[in-house]
Amino acid sequence: MKGKIIGCVVSIIFLVGLGTILVVGVRNANKSDNPASSSPLSSSSKAVQAVCGPTDYKEACIQSLNSIANNQSATPKDYIQVAINATIDAIRESIEKSRNISKEAIDPFNKMALDDCREMLQFAIDELHEAFSNMSKDDKGHTINEREIELKNWLSATIAYQETCVDGIGKEDLKEKMAVNLVDASHLSSNVLAIVSEIIPILNSFGLETNVSIGRKLLHTPKNDNDEYPSWVSNSDRKLLRRINMNNPKPNVVVAQDGSGQFKTINAALKAYPKNLIGRYVIYVKAGIYNEQVLVTKDQVNIFMFGDGPRQTIVTGKLSVAGSGTTTYQSATFAVIGNGFVGKSMGFRNTAGPQGHQAVALRVQSDMSIFYNCRMDGYQDTLYTQAHRQFYRNCVVSGTVDFIFGDGSVVIQNTLIIVRKPMDGQQNTVTAQGKKDRRETTGIVIHNCRIVPEQLLFPLRFKINTFLGRPWKEFSTTVIMQSLLADFIQPAGWMPWAGTFALDTLYYAEFGNRGPGAVTSQRVRWKGYHVLTNKNDVVRFTVNPFIQGHMWIKNTGTPYLPGLKI
């Protein structure tokens, strides 16, 4: 009874107090370029207006919450759930409409791209269902505050998948039709992320949450040795994060080309993935060159795959956009979807060469995934950090154009980043981060790494321009800190994508770098570029706060710097 009374009080304050006071905030909230954002608000309840106040697409938000507008007992969680359901419906509608668009694609490439679209949109729906499920079935009394980081993680991935869909289409008229088809879904996805991002400070201002801010909550440490994880980690995630012996794990299966293991191919070992798995599925891949396109599917979670070394155990392929007519998404030699993947002592490469243009060696959308002592070799688009939280340690990544790209939340640490010789007329760009919505929790962080030229590029390193990155999307976010930058990095540091696109809205930062390429006196003067000197300004991009590494990396035995290098 006490819990119900408290819930009623919270709802009343939320509906009446929040609506009355924050309706002013609706009028003054940030306006987007979308015409709907500045149109008059409907006659919905003041609470709906207040919830939609921080969103960029207010009319779409208000319409999506109409079903709950007159529910006097609705809680903040109810509003988020209704918004999530409306987004799911919009994406389902986009999937159905995309089938008609597919009929207009007469060439194999765009047919493949539109097939990719439906796959990506289904992933987006799955992410939203995951968010909804974890709110609906939470029986431990967790607050929205405690769930915020997970919700943002899933919602950011939802936006990334929609962008992957549109980006993959080659024919401009089909791309435009698909983009128009996704407008409602895109706007509602952005709105849900805005609501989740802004509702916490709103509730805190009314005293409806604890006085512990989300920043401190993220850095929560266990109360004792038995309390291994933060309170908001679900039971399923606790199983996913089960501790393993990374140094000498006992494999469930062995892959060996000489027949000394149970399987001769990696894909065969993955097909043997057991149902109702508890703990890790450990795959040992013996030395050899495995010429196969590998996919770790969504239901193949909690896999630990290790080899005999990144130059001994190599997975190779040569699919590319220009060479084989494959979409960037489908060109990946090795792709990981299932959450909790750990890869160790393996090499992943795409040998299409610079003439193949987009040719991915490794594509990752696995949440809480780790690659330790691995190599990713290619040219353009080598490492596709597509979505979710990822950590790379003691690796080697090589390439030319945009060779570390995507919209995941990524920290690359203690890694050798090798820039290769590109095609004639090309320039090198190390990163191309794809953050579309300003509230996404994504970005690429390069920490305590070395960025150097390969041997073939070395004599030409001052003739072929090399930049640290360029903004693929409007809110592209990349931070390079405490790393060594060789002398071939252009003095400007960064290059534009097209004209002035994203130069004011991106977030690029450098902190504490060293080497001749780290001199910042001639760097770009964009509004979104920053040279940071205060540790307090950059600590949020370190492993623990940025990807919550203290929660999941430690249990793999992977070494990592949780904060800045001292």
Map tokens 């390439």 to a residue. Answer: 399
Catalytic residue flag (residue 33): no
- Considering 4-8, 274-278, 311-315, the range whose residues carry the highest mean pLDDT is 311-315
Short-list 343, 553, 246, 537, CA closest to 561: 553
Kindly report, residue by residue over 51-81, the tens digit of the pLDDT: 898 999 999 999 999 888 888 788 878 888 9
| pLDDT at residue 231 greater than cutoff 50 | no
Q: Averaged over 223-233, what is the pLDDT?
A: 43
Q: Give me the mean pLDDT over the 98-106 stretch.
A: 92
DSSP string, 91-151: HHHHHHHHHHHHHT--SHHHHHHHHHHHHHHHHHHHHHHHHHHHHHT--S---HHHHHHHH
Average pLDDT over residues 311-325: 97
Percent of the chain with pLDDT over 70: 81
448-463: average pLDDT:
97
Closest CA to 326 of 113, 103, 95, 41: 113
Cα 38 to Cα 164: distance, rounded to the nearest angstrom: 29
- Quick one: pLDDT band at residue 216, thresholds 50, 70, 90? very low
Cβ-contact 276, 301 below 8 angstroms: no
Helices (H), 230-380: 235-240, 266-271, 321-324
pLDDT value for 410: 98
DSSP letters, 312-338, are TEEEEE---HHHH---TGGG-SEEE-S
Selected catalytic residue, list 402, 407, 424, 504: 402
In the predicted structure, residue 213 carries a pLDDT above the cut 90 = no
pLDDT for the residue numbered 156: 96
Confidence of residue 209 (pLDDT cuts 50, 70, 90): very low
Residue with tokens 């321009």: 465
Ramachandran region, residue 163 (left: φ > 0; alpha: ψ -120 to 50; beta: rest): alpha
Helices (H), 502-541: 535-538
The DSSP bridge pattern shows strands 466-469 and 288-291 to be unpaired
Mean pLDDT across 106-112: 95
Is pLDDT of 228 > 60? no
Residue with tokens 């190390």, as numbered in its chain: 430
- Is 80 exceeded by the pLDDT of residue 506? yes
Quick check: 207 and 9 in contact, CB under 8 A? no
Please work out, in degrees rounded to the nearest 5, the angle formed at the alpha carbon of residue 98 by the alpha carbons of 97 and 101: 105
What are the residues whose beta carbons fall under 8 Å from the beta carbon of 90, sequence distance 6 or more?
Answer: 184, 185, 188
| Mean confidence (pLDDT) of the chain | 86
Residue 253 pLDDT > 70, yes or no?
yes
Does pLDDT of 421 surpass 60? yes
Distance CA 167, CA 110 (A): 11
CA distances from 177 to 95, 97, 321 (A): 13, 10, 22
Residue 508 carries which side chain, given as an amino acid letter? Y
Query: What pLDDT, in 10s, does the model give residues 133-171?
Result: 776 554 455 556 557 888 899 999 999 999 999 999 999
